[in-house]
Amino acid sequence: MNLKSALIGGLALALVLAPACKKPPAKKKGPTGRVFFVAPKDGAKVKSPLKVVMGVEGMKVKPAGTMESGTGHHHIIINGKGLPQGTVVPADANNLHFGKGQTETELKLKPGKHTLTLQFADGKHASYGPALSKSITVTVE
């Protein structure tokens, strides 16, 4: 092998291996923290109307419209699951918004088993995703 062939071979090998040596793009860091129901407890038997107390750690509760990093407000999804990150929480009878920054409410539910999902979202009601969502089950007597 002559010098010219060796240089061409080395250059070709470098071109093939170069993409593998690149650092992968940094993953976008999602929100940190957690949401939880202070009351009622998961599995509780309750009477309607039931008092619901919402909690959050690692984020600050601010009214809807506030677009500051690390802030948002609560939503309760009745008989539904948490939403993917970025999905706007619908506004209807089963998707309750607490856009004034409330952390407590009373819910009127029919007798039976219900799933309550607490979903934290930003000032535009865009979900922070599963990391800031928590579901519990209650039975209304």
pLDDT tens profile 54-109: 999 999 999 999 999 999 999 999 999 999 999 999 999 999 999 999 999 999 99
Torsion sign across C-alpha atoms 65, 70, 74, 78:
positive
Q: What does the pLDDT read at residue 7?
A: 46
For residue 104, the tally of other CB atoms under 10 A from its CB is 12
Buried b (16+ CB within 10 A) or exposed e, 128-141: bbebbbbebebebe
The answer to whether the CB of 75 falls within 8 A of the CB of 56 is no
Q: What does the pLDDT read at residue 30?
A: 63
Phi, psi of 27 (to 5 degrees): -70, 140
Average model confidence (pLDDT) across the chain? 88
In the chain, what percentage of residues exceed pLDDT 90? 77
Domains annotated for the chain, with CATH where assigned, are 34-140 (2.60.40)
